[in-house]
Amino acid sequence: AQSVTQLDSQVPVFEEAPVELRCNYSSSVSVYLFWYVQYPNQGLQLLLKYLSGSTLVKGINGFEAEFNKSQTSFHLRKPSVHISDTAEYFCAVVSGGSYIPTFGRGTSLIVHP
């Protein structure tokens, strides 16, 4: 069985500060990992994905994430956030034996001026 834990339900940060949104997963087999972003009144859109290869993955809008197999983590980072990054962020995992992603509860990133 696969599961995802997003440790922070809300992360407030000031504009131009760095941010890290944490995600841990559990799975007994190989995994594919995703981060989705949901802006207010919109659906989810793919931010970045890890399928294989380099453990450091770069996505849209300056975000990146690092796959750490030993710690079963896939934390999302951005060195300098903007007001427009205010949104809900969802981590998701797909295990080798399944095709359905399991989503975390989401982390609300709130960027203050």
Partner 1 sequence: ETGVTQTPRHLVMGMTNKKSLKCEQHLGHNAMYWYKQSAKKPLELMFVYSLEERVENNSVPSRFSPECPNSSHLFLHLHTLQPEDSALYLCASSQDRGSPNIQYFGAGTRLSVL
Rounded alpha-carbon distances, angstroms, from residue 106 to 8, 42, 75: 8, 15, 13
| Count of residues that bind partner 1 according to CB under 8 A | 25
Q: Pick between residue 73 and residue 107 the one whose CB is nearest to partner 1.
A: 107
Segment 32 to 91, residues that bind partner 1, using CB under 8 A: 32, 34, 36, 41-46, 49, 51, 90
CA dihedral of residues 45, 47, 49, 55 (deg, nearest 10)? -170
Of the candidate residues 54, 70, 99, 113, the single one contacting partner 1 (CB under 8 A): 99
Contacts with partner 1 by CB under 8 A lie at 4, 9, 32, 34, 36, 41-46, 49, 51, 90, 94, 96, 98-106
